[in-house]
């Protein structure tokens, strides 16, 4: 094995989702106002990459498209045991939809080069489109398997992939290079030892801009994204503050009528 790339996305920490807001001008999330975490499934993707490396050698490279503030999150993956990280960061990437994101990640993968496997999480907990894996594979011209729950290897270097399907599991045999996205059933992300945290401090995080990737700017960022938000409606929940009067029996009857009228029963 030469190289395994793991795509890692910073996402808003669910503990602070109550503070998430949208920018009404760009109709995108205001990500900078709340802390980020590594997308939970991406930790399973990192574990998958580390397990393959531990068995067959090579290096694990983390790849993220995110603002420079994502560096501490990449250090978490380096502390788990990844060898180095590449952060794709440039103001021209801001506002990218899933296609533009995949285009940027594909350029990052080509820049890193010489990879056998690319692991991703099956979906993020913020965008949750589950589109990036197959778009990335398509842009790189590689086979793609999603919903991966098991991996084993033949003596000839082929990968036996178990994937979750609607009513069970299917098994596929693949020959690297492959792009795989993983479910949480695949593995348990390893415990990060203190020595891992110390070692991560001296591992390389290379930050690349579009000067390095040279993607046509008209294909990326908000302007280059074919997904256009047509509108944004913020739902507001307010109590009606209605008071039902009468005897307990009358109140119950009125309450039942209201519940019936709003279609709950
Ligand atoms: C008009 C518009 C503007 C947007 N502007 C922004 C913006 O300014 N900033 C922003 O962060 N998002 C922005 N988004 C959201 C952005 O498109 C998605 O978050 C992103 O493309 C990934 O989609 P997803 O989260 O649904 O990924 P999924 O397909 O659900 O993710 C699957 C896996 O792909 C990998 N992955 C996904 N994204 C990344 C990434 N960035 N780096 C590394 N790996 C990744 C991870 O392994 C992840 O587990 C915008 C979306 C739209 C429609």
Q: What is the percent of the chain with per-residue pLDDT over 70, rounded to a whole number?
A: 100
Measured from the Cα of 229, ligand 1's closest atom is: 1
Average of per-residue pLDDT values in the chain? 94
Q: Taking each helix axis as running N to C, give the angle between helix 71-80 and helix 40-56, from 0 to 180 degrees, rounded to the nearest 10.
A: 40
Ligand 1 centroid to residue 207 C-alpha, Å: 18
CATH topology of domain 3-219: Rossmann fold (3.40.50)
CB of 108 within 8 A of CB of 78? no
Measured from the Cα of 97, ligand 1's closest atom is: 17
With a 6 A CB cut-off, is 142 part of the ligand 1 pocket? Answer: no
CB of 41 within 8 A of CB of 187? no
CB of 181 within 8 A of CB of 133? yes
98 CB-side CA count, 13 A: 17
The whole-number average pLDDT for the span 140-154 is 98
Ligand 1 atom 19, closest CA: 127
Instruction: Pick from 9, 145, 208 the residue to mutate for probing ligand 1's pocket: most ligand atoms within 8 Å of its CB.
Output: 9
Question: Tens digit of pLDDT for each residue in 161-203?
Answer: 999 999 999 999 999 999 999 999 999 999 999 999 999 999 9
Q: What is the percent of the chain with per-residue pLDDT over 90, rounded to a whole number?
A: 83
Six-digit token pair at 196? 């891992």
The per-residue pLDDT for 162 is 98
Domain limits, the chain: 3-219
Ligand 1 centroid to residue 92 C-alpha, Å: 15
The whole-number average pLDDT for the span 97-102 is 98
What is d(CA 139, CA 132) in angstroms, rounded to the nearest whole number? 10
């Amino acid at each position: 094995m030469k190289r395994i790339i793991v795509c890692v996305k910073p996402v808003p920490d669910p503990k602070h989702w109550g503070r998430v807001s949208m920018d009404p001008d760009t109709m995108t999330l205001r990500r900078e106002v709340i802390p980020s975490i590594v997308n939970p499934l991406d930790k399973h993707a990192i574990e998958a990459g580390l397990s393959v490396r531990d068995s067959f050698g090579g290096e694990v490279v983390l790849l993220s498209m995110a603002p420079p503030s994502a560096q501490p999150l990449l250090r978490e993956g380096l502390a788990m045991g990844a060898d180095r990280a590449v952060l794709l960061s440039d103001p021209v990437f801001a506002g990218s939809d899933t296609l533009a994101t995949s285009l940027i990640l594909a350029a990052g993968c080509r820049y890193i080069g010489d990879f056998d496997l690319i692991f991703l999480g099956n979906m993020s907990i913020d965008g949750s489109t589950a589109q990036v894996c197959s778009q990335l594979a398509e842009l790189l011209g590689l086979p793609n398997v999603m919903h991966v729950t098991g991996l084993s290897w033949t003596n000839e270097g082929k990968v036996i992939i178990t994937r979750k399907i609607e009513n069970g599991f299917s098994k596929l045999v693949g020959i690297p290079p492959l792009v795989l996205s993983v479910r949480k059933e695949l593995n348990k992300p390893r415990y990060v030892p203190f020595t891992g945290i110390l070692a991560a401090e001296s591992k390389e995080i290379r930050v690349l801009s579009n000067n390095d990737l040279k993607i046509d700017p008209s294909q990326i960022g908000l302007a280059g994204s074919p997904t256009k938000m047509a509108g944004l409606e913020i739902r507001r929940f307010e109590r009606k503050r209605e008071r039902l009067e009468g005897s307990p029996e009358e109140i119950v009857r009125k309450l039942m009528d209201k519940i019936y009228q709003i279609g709950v029963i």
